[in-house]
Amino acid sequence: MKILTQSGQAIQKLYNRNKYYRKKHVEEKVRKIIEDVRSEGDEAVLRYTRRFDKAKLTAKGLKVRESEISGAFQNITSEFITDLKAIINNVSLFYKKQIQKPCCVRDDDGIMLKENILPLDTVGIYIPAGTAPLISTVYMTVIPAKVAGVKNVVIATPPDADGNINPYILAVANLLKVSDIYKVGGAQAVAALALGTKQIPKVDKIIGPGNMFVTEAKRQMFGYTDIDMLAGPSELAIIANRYSNPDYIVADLEAQMEHLGGLGVLVTTSKQIIKQVRHRVANGYIIHAKNIDEAVAIVDRIAPEHLQILTNNPRTVANKVKNAGAIFLGPYSPTALGDYAAGPSHVLPTLGTARFFSGLCLSDFTKKSHIISYSKKALERMRGPIENVSTLEGLPKHCESIQVRFK
């Protein structure tokens, strides 16, 4: 691991890694793919599927058939189903606690102000399957959508060269009652979901991680549809002191490095921990902090996707942290627990965006409508302020729309 000094350029690049992730050639390629899907629809989707995934599909073959889903269960063991049910229970319990009730304000003059919380109608979920089929992403995204009340949840995931989808992805999606599954990946999948084609429905929001082409497509399609966040490579920061177990630190950092482009950062107050860990992990960074408060300040600037606190007082340290997608406390809460089974979704902000993005929440699958009802008496009370402001703005018809009700 490389040791970073707090005054060096390398640490500044780490803090500002978001601006280095976007590449001009990726933006241009994605823009071309989007324009092709916009003008050609399914034909462009099929062409790019042949080019990038080596799968030769027909337009009707883009949608996974019922027979393919049934066939997938032949490769699924009963033990997996049992394990999956335990995980589904954990994730469902967490998101059911997030269900909100609409707020309502009333007064004696006849004012009623209300906020309705409504589920989105159709959500598209992207499941990566290029370098590794992310089976866990299926339940980590579909479950909160279902708990929120989304009627139509569709999945887009790249096929293999034979035009097949990983059987576990199909089985989990089926068990969670996903509406439809489409054999398409990359920027063309995002474009198809955002714009709609003859075979692939236009969705209200696109959820899920992906490579830089998927992320760039989500960025360019934002506005045509909503998105959850702009995700980059997986990240882990660890705060450790002299009480931390170096074997746990090494194991957790190496686990994170299994992800393509994964980032691992150890921030520690212990020089002994640095000696014990430095040469045991091939990649990543180590930053020495004078004390825990400085370690927290460094982590807040990194704003990592995952933060593990392996000190002897993890709760106290966690209370000081402001910027992290998910925080794991103590030696028996590794990031892998959150990746697969703890409950909260593993779809989390990366590239320092934990400063303003949150992990996937129930609210990501809902929208709010404001309902406003005034009596004549209540409107008369606000007549003067409305007339004054609309006059200052030079909008006399707004003023007249109030006055006409009192003639």
> Considering 216, 235, 259, 306, which one is annotated as catalytic?
306
Residue 368's DSSP bridge partners are 117
Q: Is 306 a catalytic residue?
A: yes
Q: Is the pTM of this model over 0.85?
A: yes
Q: Is 305 a catalytic residue?
A: yes
The domains of the chain, with CATH numbers, are: 24-227 (3.40.50.1980), 233-346 (3.40.50.1980), 376-406 (no CATH)
- pLDDT tens, the chain, 407 aa long: 999 998 889 999 999 998 888 889 999 999 999 999 999 999 999 999 999 999 999 999 999 999 999 999 998 999 999 999 999 999 999 999 999 888 999 999 899 999 999 999 999 999 999 767 899 999 999 999 999 999 999 999 999 999 999 999 999 999 999 999 999 999 999 999 999 999 999 999 999 999 999 999 999 999 999 999 998 999 999 999 999 999 999 999 999 988 888 999 999 999 999 999 999 999 999 999 999 999 999 999 999 999 999 999 999 999 999 999 999 999 999 999 999 999 999 999 999 999 999 999 999 999 999 999 999 999 999 999 999 999 999 999 999 999 999 98
> Considering 235, 259, 305, 346, which one is annotated as catalytic?
305
